[in-house]
């Protein structure tokens, strides 16, 4: 498993404002989108491309374009939805599929309550978006689901993670090559399954408590 923690002062600055309990929802939403755009740069480092011949006003040359089948972006509802706009701004031709998952507050086990993805993901490169990687249960289940459907390359882009969560995802992948790009890896997970220091519940801070 390849883990890349974005180490950039602009990301850390935006993350600090995001973590602040006094940051209101509209600012929080804008920051999640901005952070996503910055993380997408690293997250799409291995996006598949094919060579293409073009003519500049001066000479013919070879460039690249995003390969077919197009990358599939999968935000995990709810909180991952806040990252979608930032990602499709950078990769506007990507297709988008949805997975709805909610953690049981007592057992911390994820349950899938919605799914809207192409039936066959054979050979597809997928990018999972979820701001929080806490126990790692939701991300591991989402990645496993995509592999079961035929995806052959999965990258997750998260804003915050924990050492425990990363370890759990790695174990659950059973040696499959996946990539996780994060804005930061925090200190730990607390007894309620929250990231410490973290930023609280990203879904609630983006959209309010359900």
Minimum distance from residue 206 beta carbon to ligand PRP (Å) = 8
Answer yes or no: are the C-beta atoms of 192 and 164 closer than 8 Å.
no
Residue 38 or 194: the one with the smaller Cβ distance to ligand PRP is 194
Q: Interface with ligand PRP by CB under 6 A: which residues?
A: 76, 78-79, 101-103, 108, 110, 130-139, 165, 193, 201-203
Which residue number, 41 or 113, has a Cβ lying nearer to ligand PRP? Answer: 113
Q: Rounded to the nearest whole angstrom, what is the least distance from the CB of residue 165 to ligand PRP in the complex?
A: 5
Euclidean distance between CA atoms 176 and 154, whole angstroms? 10
Query: Cβ closer to ligand PRP: 47 or 206?
Result: 206
The least distance separating ligand PRP from the CB of residue 132, rounded to whole angstroms, comes to: 4
Nearer to ligand PRP, 14 or 103 (CB): 103
Please list, in sequence order, all residues whose beta carbon lies within 8 angstroms of the beta carbon of residue 86, skipping any fewer than 6 positions away: 32, 33, 34, 35, 36, 37, 40
Which helix H or strand E contains 189, and what residues bound it?
strand 188-189
Q: How far is the CB of 194 from ligand PRP (least distance, A)?
A: 9
Pair of tokens at residue 79: 């909180």
- What is the distance between the alpha carbons of residues 100 and 81, in angstroms, rounded to a whole number? 10
Token duo for residue 52? 């293409």
């Amino acid at each position: 498993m390849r883990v890349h923690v974005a180490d950039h002062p602009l990301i850390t600055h935006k993350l600090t404002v995001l973590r602040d309990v006094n940051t209101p929802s509209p600012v929080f939403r804008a920051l999640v989108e901005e952070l996503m755009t910055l993380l997408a740069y690293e997250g799409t480092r291995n996006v598949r491309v094919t060579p293409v011949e073009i003519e500049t006003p001066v000479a013919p040359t070879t460039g690249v374009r995003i390969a077919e089948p197009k990358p599939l972006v999968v935000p995990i509802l709810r909180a991952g939805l806040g990252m979608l706009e930032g990602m499709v701004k950078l990769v506007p031709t990507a297709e988008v599929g949805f997975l709805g998952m909610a953690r049981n507050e007592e057992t911390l086990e994820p349950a899938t309550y919605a799914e809207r993805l192409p039936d066959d993901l054979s050979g597809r490169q997928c990018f999972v978006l979820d701001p929080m990687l806490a126990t790692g249960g939701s991300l591991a289940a989402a990645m496993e689901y995509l592999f079961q459907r035929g995806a052959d390359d999965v990258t997750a882009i998260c804003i915050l993670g924990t050492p425990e969560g990363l370890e759990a995802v790695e174990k659950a992948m059973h040696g499959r090559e996946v990539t996780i790009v994060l804005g930061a890896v925090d200190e730990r997970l607390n007894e309620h399954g929250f990231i410490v220091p973290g930023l609280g519940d990203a879904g609630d801070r983006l959209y309010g408590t359900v």
